[in-house]
Structures are given as C-alpha cells and as structure tokens.
Amino acid sequence: MKCPFCGCEESKVIDSRPTDEGERIRRRRECIGCFKRFTTYEIIESVPVIVVKKDKSREVFDRNKLFNGLLRACEKRPVSLESIEHAVDEIESTLQNSLDREVTSVRIGELAMDKLKDLDEVAYVRFASVYRQFKDINTFMDELAKLLSEK
C-alpha cells in the first residue's frame, strides 16, 4: 500500500477490524519509510449485473427499479415492506450468484412474479398484467385460470 505522506510502497498493518456494517475491513497501517500512520478500507468488489431489455438495449441492474415495481404491485395490499425488501434481496442474490453477468429483463420479471405469487396473489396478477402487457380480458382470465389451477 502506497503511503499518502511519503509515497513509500511498503507499510505494515498495525490493526485490522470490520466496520460497523461488516461490509468493509478497516486497516490501520504504518509506513516503513516515514513511520506515519494511515487508515485504509478493504471492500468486496462487486461485478455489476447487466440487464438486457426487450429492445436489446443494456443497462446496469437497478435494485430500486425492481423494488418500486414490486411496491406498486403490492400497493393497498396486506404485504409488509420488509417482505418486499426480502423478495428484492433474494432476487438480487439469485442474479449475483448466477455465473451470467448479463440477464434478460424477462428473467428478472419471472423471478419477481415467482416471489409475488408467494407474497400476495392480487399483487402477482397486478404485476403480471403490466409485465406481460395483457391486451384484453381473455389474456387476463387465462392468467387467473393458470393461477387457480396451481392451487
């Protein structure tokens, strides 16, 4: 680690501990050259997940978009904010743990619908109606029939 005071490239670690959030490690270092002390933080570098949209454009996965979509579907329903956050956490974890760095928006939508199906059926149908772009009442009824047959 390069010393911020003298530029020496050698230092020794005096103290090391996790931060309050537990997502970083704080290291107290002492320069071998000038003996001054400084602090560094070590974090896990996350590789971003790229979302391939229906129009083939690409953008970085945004957990807030997913959260807002689920929140909108669960509006005025007896679904707690914690359960929505937990569902978003699980979806994000699934995406991060997959070996693919690119994922389609269709895949994210399917994961979201799977979580909503367990949380609240009305929220599931709301989300599905927007996500699958129901054109008429028949496609809406087909989705409801599929949901009822799974019970």
Q: For residue range 39-76, what is the model confidence (pLDDT) as tens digits?
A: 999 987 778 899 999 899 999 999 999 999 999 999 99
Question: What is residue 121's predicted lDDT score, i.e. its pLDDT?
Answer: 87
Question: What is residue 128's predicted lDDT score, i.e. its pLDDT?
Answer: 83
Question: What is residue 62's predicted lDDT score, i.e. its pLDDT?
Answer: 93
Question: What is residue 115's predicted lDDT score, i.e. its pLDDT?
Answer: 95
For residue 47, give the DSSP letter.
Answer: P
Question: What is residue 111's predicted lDDT score, i.e. its pLDDT?
Answer: 95
Question: What is residue 116's predicted lDDT score, i.e. its pLDDT?
Answer: 93
**Ranges of residues in the chain whose predicted pLDDT is under 70:** 135-136
Question: What is residue 147's predicted lDDT score, i.e. its pLDDT?
Answer: 74
Please report which helix (H) or strand (E) contains residue 65, including its range: helix 63-73
Q: With beta carbons less than 8 A apart as the criterion, state whether 44 and 50 touch.
A: no
What pTM did the predictor assign? 0.64
* Tokens linked to 149: 């047959």
* Tokens linked to 91: 């979806």
Q: How far is CA 21 from the centre of its chain?
A: 17
* Nearest to 12, CA basis, from 32, 39, 38: 32
Dist. CA 61–CA 12, nearest whole Å = 38
Please report which helix (H) or strand (E) contains residue 15, including its range: strand 11-18
